[in-house]
Amino acid sequence: MTDTIDMQQTTAERAARGKAIIKELAGDTPHPISLDALARDFPFLSNAVNAFAVGEIFDRTVLDIRTRQLALCTAFAALGLTDYMKIHAGYALNHGATEAEVKEIANLVIIPGGFPRAIMASQAIGELLASRSS
Give the total number of structural domains in the chain. 2
109 shares a domain with 69: yes
What mean pLDDT value characterizes the chain? 89
7: left (phi over 0), alpha (psi -120 to 50) or beta: alpha
How many Å apart are CA 90 and CA 69, to the nearest integer? 9
Q: Say which amino acid occupies 9.
A: Q
pLDDT at 34: 75
Q: Say which amino acid occupies 115.
A: F
Domain extent at residue 79: 64-134
How many Å apart are CA 90 and CA 70, to the nearest integer? 10
Cβ–Cβ contacts within 10 Å for residue 11, how many?
A: 13
- Entry pTM: 0.85
19 shares a domain with 52: yes
49 shares a domain with 4: yes
Of the candidates 42, 62, 82, which is a domain's last residue? 62
79 shares a domain with 127: yes
pLDDT bracket for residue 129 (50, 70, 90): very high
58 shares a domain with 2: yes
Spatial contact of 84 and 76, defined as CB atoms under 8 Å apart: yes
Residue 77 has pLDDT above 80, yes or no: yes
129 shares a domain with 68: yes
Of the candidates 21, 40, 62, which is a domain's last residue? 62
Of the candidates 62, 78, 104, which is a domain's last residue? 62
